[in-house]
Homo-oligomer: A and B are copies of this chain.
Amino acid sequence: MTNTVGQLINGEMMIDGSRSQDVYNPSTGAATKQVDLACAGTVEQAIAAAEAAFPTWRNTPPARRAAVMFRFKQLLEDNADKICEMIGEEHGKIAHDAMGELQRGIENVEYACGAPELLKGEHSRNVGPGIDSWSEFQPLGVVAGITPFNFPAMVPLWMYPMAIVCGNTFVLKPSERDPSSTLYIAQLLQEAGLPNGVINVVNGDKEAVDVLLTDERVKAVSFVGSTPIAEYIYSTANANGKRCQALGGAKNHAIVMPDADMDNAVNQLLGAAFGSSGERCMALSVAVAVGDEAADTLVAKLQEAMGPLKVGEFSNRDNDFGPVITRAHQQKVNGYIDSAEADGCKIVVDGRNPQVEGYEEGFFVGATLIDNVTTQMKSYQEEIFGPVLQVVRANSMEEAMQMINDHEYGNGTCIFTRDGEAARYFSDNIQVGMVGINVPLPVPVSYHSFGGWKRSLFGDLHAYGPDAVRFYTKRKTITQRWPSSGVREGVSFAFPS
């Protein structure tokens, strides 16, 4: 346990040394290394480095900034296996799942490669006689990102490639649970030719976060995590004069209509509910079956399909999914299953305390299916963030939609149907930011933007994609007139019209 994950500041690795914390391998339950926790001074040093790097980086043409992203993409692809190994070891997700995560992250880097196009402003000749006006999108300065454990590669890549290619400099505070892949990826960006100080990574906890939220040199904060923390981040950053977007929790429902292709729906639900142990903000955790016939069929087919599912250690590619992140989280997930059971639900498939041979201390929860859930139950109202799929029964599509609209969260949702009218009505009226039609994990591609509604996102603009350009820049509008050398104009006291 001599290995300590440190800080990347101004292009150099360093160890703060004041405090540190264990990093676990959730498959074995053993602490395998330490993560250095940055004190306030270290975070301020990172901010200072970012601020010093800003003027030159801001003046670097967007096409040259994009050139770094092209190289970064290459390095990410060249080192993909190593990154996935790092993710698996600290997060527990199976290699094919880590690769999916990384690929999604790389797609954000690819989008950032288009910066010269994305940063185009709007130009108007002759807004008045001989007067031109145009709007530009200029960078903000130093921007911070605070990211969760569940996507250590992808979520940071939602943020800093776009922030940086827009001309900002960046300080990233990743999750202290699984810091290695995140740090390594930032080092690859450095290696891709980024000037020192443009990207900085500080590992740490609330002490580090609070510096980022209050230091006036930080102009904007992007956050992904749970809703209570998101709300704190958002209000604190705003109160400190910063732009902020804070993404929180979710409870994603799929409506299964009687006309749905049921086998397809079942296949889709398995991956969406249990992939990555359900530790995804887009995980599908509730299936709302319309009509008892559909519900009975769905539950029966799910139960059957869940039979062969294997939970286990990350390094075995035959496993379908891995452990949850910590022992405490394992117990919390089990607690939700207990609670549902106590509320009278039927535990159709019970994943509590699975046997994983050779990994008895791992933080495993098996795939769990719960039927007859109702909207008053705690296990329905809260985000479980584990491999637990709940089935709710509704009498009509309207009733099913009302459940979704009444829920606190509005991140993702999906409908399974063959009917064009049902799909259109659902997508138009559902109060959720990301909607799937027969697509259970409707994560927008990198050239659209990611964002939930209601208490799943605080802020005006969504993450990555076109919205990221707007979030990481501010509009400047210039109005220009070149007075004719020979002409004098009369004075006007009226407001220009």
Contact = CB atoms under 8 A, between A and B. Distances in A.
Contacts of A129: 59, 61
A483 B438 contact: yes
A427 interface: yes
A385 to B, nearest CB: 15
Contact of A448 (B103, B124, B474, B496): B124
Interface stretch (A16-24, A110-118, A191-199): A110-118
Contacts of A418: 419-421, 482-483, 485
Most B Cβ at <10 Å: residue of A60, A122, A154, A425: A122
A126 B61 contact: yes
Contacts of A280: 495
Contacts of A122: 120-123, 448, 466
A225 B394 CA distance: 49
Contacts of A421: 418, 482-485
Contacts of A126: 59-62
Contacts of A455: 241
A483 B483 CA distance: 21
B447 A124 contact: yes
A341 interface: no
Nearest to A446: B116
A243 B481 CA distance: 33
Contacts of A307: none
Contacts of A459: 460
Contacts of A435: 476-479
Contacts of A261: 483, 485
A30 interface: no
Interface stretch (A42-50, A171-179, A266-274, A348-356): A266-274
A460 B220 CA distance: 10
A428 interface: yes
Contact of A489 (B97, B121, B264, B484): B264
A321 interface: yes
B124 A66 contact: no
Interface residues of A, number: 127
Contacts of A97: 493-495
B238 A427 contact: no
A271 B492 contact: yes
A381 to B, nearest CB: 18
Contacts of A133: 444-445, 448
Interface string A92-108: 00101101110110010
A496 to B, nearest CB: 6
Contacts of A110: 63, 66, 70, 113
A276 B495 contact: yes
Interface string A63-96: 1001000100110000000000000000000101
A14 interface: no
Interface string A464-479: 0011001100111111
A103 to B, nearest CB: 4
A433 B476 contact: yes
Given A134-B134, A267-B490, A437 B128 contact: no
Interface string A272-294: 00111000100000000000000
A436 interface: yes
A426 to B, nearest CB: 9
A205 interface: no
A383 interface: no
Nearest to A260: B483
A116 B124 contact: yes
A126 to B, nearest CB: 4
A197 B181 CA distance: 40
A136 interface: yes
In the A-B complex, list the 7 residue pairs whose CB atoms are closest, starting with the nearest.
A100-B495, A103-B497, A114-B114, A421-B482, A437-B480, A100-B494, A121-B123
29 contacts: A61-B129, A63-B110, A100-B497, A101-B495, A111-B114, A114-B117, A116-B446, A117-B117, A119-B124, A120-B123, A120-B447, A125-B428, A128-B445, A130-B424, A132-B424, A135-B449, A264-B483, A264-B488, A276-B493, A280-B495, A418-B420, A424-B480, A427-B476, A433-B474, A437-B479, A438-B481, A453-B476, A460-B471, A461-B470
Given A122-B466, A460-B461, 9 more contacts: A66-B110, A74-B74, A116-B127, A120-B447, A125-B136, A125-B428, A436-B480, A450-B477, A460-B460
